[in-house]
Amino acid sequence: MQFENLNIIEPILKALKDKKYTEPTSIQVKTIPLILERNDILGSAQTGTGKTAAFAIPIIQHLYHNESKRQGRPKINALIVTPTRELAIQIDENIEEYGKYTNIKHAVIFGGVKQTGQVEKLKNGVHILVATPGRLLDLINQGFVSLKSVNMFVLDEADRMLDMGFINDIKQLLKLLPEKRQSLFFSATMPDNIVELSRKILKNPKKVEVSPVSSTAETIRQYLYYTNRSTKKDLLRHILRNPTINQVLLFNRTKHGADRITRELIKQKVKAAAIHGDKAQNQRQKALAQFKAGEIRVLVATDIAARGIDIDKLGFVINYDMPNIAETYVHRIGRSGRAGEEGVSISICEPEENGFVKDIEKLINRKIEVVTENPFPQTEKPMSEKEKREWEKEKLRKKQEFFASRKKMHDRSKSFSSSRKVR
């Protein structure tokens, strides 16, 4: 199948050639004709399948046809709502690329940054608005955005949207959207609450499904190192000695952990940066841009921050910890080998995480290859429940001790400076 067979207009085909897309992905083949025929869509697909182009191309095409008949300042005809800033930016970048030979105007709005630039762009008029829910409602309330002219609505990553607690924002948005519209609804998973939400949004939708979460793992070569908690850092250093690992996205569950690993890597003269929820938006964007430009070798990310990062041809993913939810593993490794490219995932497992491997292997229905050439093999056993409790207690005690000593130091320096003032 070729893009030419999907009735796509010449200006978009030309842009796709520039992007060097040779043929449409499965979701694109299935979805583009249905959207062009003005159907509502219930799409079960995750990031990495080519889903963005699957909805962005036909939206641009509809608008291109409409716009030739219209004059004046563009109004928002298509609204795309997505849960994270990173996803919003990437969708907007894709629209820019696919629509570069058309006259379609677009903008992206998201929270965590000043609204001035975003408002300026909106004032000039846009056909397509990509938005995260909070900033969108905010700008609607301030009168900078009107949804009255929207006739195409996309809800992207609906499951993540609910996970992140956006349900009330979505309900509010639905009240503001015109009844007569085409709606496209995408979600990686389809639990009952998502299906229920989709019913409120869609009319006679066509269902489209591509690669359920567990099957993404099939195109990726997966390796597993068993080690001890205390030797993870050394093992990582050993793994990164392999020069073929030119760039890697490294996952860590916690923000503190991500910072710690990044510091350690920088100390070892490995170019690294962390992205997570505590980093400012411009820091995250800078790190991502540097990574994309090849200036950073290891991008350390937490699960939420990494969701939606779109990096072409990312070869390697490292799991610095084994996720306790098997689906998270599939999402993580799905960041490599995107759109049919081959990828490699390397997981590091400490004794406490041994049990998670079994859950993951059950979900992906295959064994992960254990690397035997491992200078830091696992020698310790997982803790018993009693040991775990003791360990947690000890951890808490140390933390309290640390804070108490910091407080003491702080009090001492305060009394020292006030005594100097007295003198």
Q: Which residue ranges make up the site for ligand AMP (CB under 6 A)?
A: 21, 24-25, 28, 47-53, 310, 312, 338-339
User: What are the respective helix, strand and coil percentages of the chain, to the nearest 5?
Assistant: 50, 15, 35
Query: DSSP assignment, residue 145?
Result: -
Pick 24 or 323: Cβ nearer ligand AMP: 24
For 249, the enclosing helix (H) or strand (E) is strand 248-251
> Can you read off the two tokens belonging to residue 148?
């009255």
The angle at the Cα of 182, spanning 180 to 188, to the nearest 5 degrees, equals 140
Q: Which is nearer to ligand AMP, 339 or 370 (CB)?
A: 339
Minimal distance, residue 314 CB to ligand AMP, in Å: 9
**Across 7-137, where does the E strand assignment appear?**
41-44, 78-81, 106-109, 128-131
Euclidean distance between CA atoms 415 and 421, whole angstroms: 10
Cβ-based nearer residue to ligand AMP, 91 or 248: 91
Q: Which of residues 27 and 145 has its CB atom nearest to ligand AMP in the complex?
A: 27
Amino acid identity, residue 400?
Q
CB of 54 to ligand AMP, least distance (A): 7
Number of residues in the chain:
423
Q: Which residue lies nearer to ligand AMP by CB, 51 or 232? A: 51
Give min distance, CB of 2 to ligand AMP, in A. Answer: 10
Residue with tokens 């191309």: 57
Residue 353 CB, nearest approach to ligand AMP (Å):
28
Residue in the shown chain whose Cβ atom is closest to ligand AMP:
52
Radius of gyration for the alpha carbons in the chain, expressed in angstroms and rounded: 24
In angstroms, what is the minimal distance from the CB of 12 to ligand AMP?
A: 12
> What span, in angstroms and rounded, lies between the C-alpha atoms of 413 and 196?
59
Closer of 67 and 341 to ligand AMP (Cβ): 341
Compute the least distance from the CB of residue 51 to ligand AMP, in Å. Answer: 4
Least distance in Å: CB of 273 to ligand AMP? 20
Q: Please classify residue 108 by burial: count the beta carbons closer than 10 Å to its beta carbon, then call 0-12 exposed, 13-18 middle and 19+ buried.
A: buried
Nearest CB to ligand AMP, comparing residues 47 and 151: 47
